[in-house]
């Protein structure tokens, strides 16, 4: 029996712009998914297509038990975390000796297959390696570790990543004169943030501007803007939606002494608040028991 876990992620900056080859900054977060895999003569019935695909692609048989601190379909990369933790546990239980790079690559292929072609390598990479990651066209690079406290607010409004990506694509096609400069501005925000991550006040301001642009691109949602405005009013340095938008989660960056107050205000808006920081471990082995 082998138990492994893998973290979720948030986009700090650059979601949607990354689809057009622009850079983005993603961060692994503390909440994670725990997966126990046990060898068996047959593969037990699995409801999740991600799990079935992990066993099929690794060509092994057995059973799996999952415990998650991440809400699924909330934009926090829970499917990638499940996939990476499962592949890592299979790798250990069956002694397959796959490297982390191989696990991340296999995880991406599985996400792509299950999501019918719609997956970015960001979620699986961040979940495997942890940390802060600069995502650009064909590469992902870990940034130096730093303590970046953030607050996540989950609107609980279901969203559809494919629909949101299509909405931006339609605007790029129908109104390039408007949409392109917005995507270029997100790139400029990401590049400025990259050199200012230690200045929480500036990071907050950049988040505010990034949120306004994502709203202008049509991927906002009243429930997200409500939380973003409430967080700012409670003293956050800044806030924005994170991930695909249209529902799902927002993030805020706050002065450390105000984080509980901002979390309280988010909860008072009927949203789930999580105070967290960067996870630097990525996929890791847990003690069985
Ligand atoms: C979704 O979490 C982020 C998007 O940029 C899509 C992607 O990067 O695959 C909207």
Q: Which atom of ligand 1 is nearest to the CA of 135?
A: 8
Question: What phi and psi values does residue 96 have, to the nearest 5 degrees?
Answer: -85, -15
Q: How far is CA 196 from CA 133, 135, 193, 241, in A?
A: 15, 17, 5, 20
Identify the H or E element spanning 35: strand 24-39
Q: How far is CA 225 from CA 36, 40, 140, in A?
A: 38, 48, 30
Q: Are 9 and 77 in contact (CB under 8 A)?
A: yes
Mutation to probe ligand 1, out of 17, 161, 219 (largest number of atoms < 8 A from CB):
161
Which residue lies with its CA nearest to atom 9 of ligand 1? 120
Q: Which atom of ligand 1 is nearest to the CA of 77?
A: 2
How far is the C-alpha of 81 from the C-alpha of 35, rounded, in Å?
10
Q: Which residue has the higher pLDDT, 115 or 64?
A: 64
Cα angle for residues 155, 69, 33 (degrees, 5° grid) = 125
Does domain 2-144 fall into CATH 1.10.3730.10?
no
Q: Which residue has the higher pLDDT, 87 or 43?
A: 87
Q: Which residues of 220-246 are buried (b: 16+ CB within 10 A; e: fewer)?
A: bbebbbbbbebbbebebbbbbbbbbbb
Q: How confident is the model at residue 289 (pLDDT cuts 50, 70, 90)?
A: low
pLDDT at position 72 is 82
Mutation to probe ligand 1, out of 8, 133, 244, 248 (largest number of atoms < 8 A from CB):
244
173 three-class SS: helix
Domain boundary assignment for the chain: 2-144, 150-276
Mutation to probe ligand 1, out of 8, 10, 11, 250 (largest number of atoms < 8 A from CB):
11
Query: DSSP string covering 123-188, please?
Result: HHHHHHH-SEEEEETTEEEEPPP----EEEEE------HHHHHHHHHHHHHH-HHHHHHHHHHHHH
pLDDT in tens, 5-39: 999 999 999 999 999 999 999 999 999 999 999 99
Tokens, residue 279: 């996870």
CATH superfamily of 150-276: GHMP kinase, C-terminal domain (3.30.70.890)
Task: Report how far ligand 1's centroid is from the alpha carbon of 194 (Å).
Answer: 19
Q: Are 152 and 39 in contact (CB under 8 A)?
A: no
Residues serving a catalytic function are 123
232 three-class SS: helix
Strand partners, 65: 36
Which residue lies with its CA nearest to atom 2 of ligand 1? 243
End-to-end CA distance of the chain: 10
How far is the C-alpha of 90 from the C-alpha of 96, rounded, in Å?
8
| Whole-structure pTM value | 0.94
- The closest of 114, 119, 110 to 85, measured between CA atoms, is 110
pLDDT in tens, 154-201: 999 998 888 999 999 999 999 999 999 999 999 999 999 999 999 999
Pocket residues: Cβ below 6 A from ligand 1: 11, 15-16, 18-19, 75, 120, 122, 161, 165, 243-244
69 three-class SS: coil
């Amino acid at each position: 029996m082998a138990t492994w876990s893998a973290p979720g992620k948030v986009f700090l900056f650059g979601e949607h712009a990354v689809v057009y080859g622009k850079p983005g900054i993603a961060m692994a977060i503390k909440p994670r998914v725990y997966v126990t895999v046990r060898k068996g003569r047959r593969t037990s019935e699995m409801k999740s297509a991600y799990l079935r695909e992990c066993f099929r692609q690794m060509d092994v048989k057995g059973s799996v038990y999952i415990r998650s601190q991440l809400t699924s379909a909330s934009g926090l990369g829970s499917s990638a975390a499940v996939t990476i933790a499962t592949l890592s546990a299979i790798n250990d239980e069956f002694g397959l000796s796959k490297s982390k790079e191989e696990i991340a690559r296999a995880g991406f292929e599985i996400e792509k297959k299950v999501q019918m072609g719609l997956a970015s390598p960001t979620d699986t990479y961040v979940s495997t390696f942890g940390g802060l990651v600069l995502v650009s066209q064909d590469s992902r690079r870990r940034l130096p570790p730093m303590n970046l406290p953030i607050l996540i607010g989950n609107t609980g409004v279901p969203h559809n990543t494919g629909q949101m990506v299509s909405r931006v694509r339609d605007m790029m096609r129908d109104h390039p004169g408007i949409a392109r400069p917005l995507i270029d501005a997100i790139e400029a925000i990401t590049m400025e943030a990259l050199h200012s991550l230690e200045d929480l006040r500036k990071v907050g301001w950049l988040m505010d501007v990034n949120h306004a642009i994502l709203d202008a691109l049509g991927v906002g949602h009243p429930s997200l803007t409500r939380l973003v405005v409430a967080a700012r009013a409670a003293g956050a340095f800044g806030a924005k939606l994170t991930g695909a938008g249209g529902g799902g989660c927002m993030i805020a960056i706050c002065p450390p002494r105000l984080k509980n107050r901002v979390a309280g205000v988010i909860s008072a808006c009927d949203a789930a608040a999580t105070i967290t920081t960067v996870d630097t471990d990525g996929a890791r082995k847990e003690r069985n028991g």
